[in-house]
Amino acid sequence: MTDPLSSLPWAIAALAVTLLAVLLSGRLAARLGLGAGPRQGRRLSIIETLPLDSRRRLLLARCDGTEVVLLVGGPNDLVVCSLAGREA
């Protein structure tokens, strides 16, 4: 039967090789454009979020240069107001 301490360096070395392989694969995928990097030309973004209570919150969203205030999380989602043509 082998001593558990004698197999510990082999286990650490195997873990290091595995982590190195994962990191190198990720870098290679990013260089080839296979990763989920930033997309160009996003049209929709959440500008700000304000929690109202444990379920509901107000969202300020921008889409194509129009800002919209949304009430979400309750039984019905609601467009509170639209701020047309409002650019940051």
34-63 pLDDT, tens per residue?
A: 766 566 677 888 999 999 999 999 999 998
* Residue 67 neighbours by CB distance under 10 Å: 19
pLDDT, residue 34, reads: 79
pLDDT, residue 3, reads: 74
pLDDT, residue 1, reads: 56
Measure the CA–CA gap between 23 and 33, rounded to whole angstroms: 15
Average pLDDT over residues 5-33: 90
Q: Is the pLDDT of residue 87 over 70?
A: no
As beta bridge partners, residue 44 has 63
Report pTM: 0.49
**pLDDT-derived band at 83, boundaries 50, 70, 90:** confident
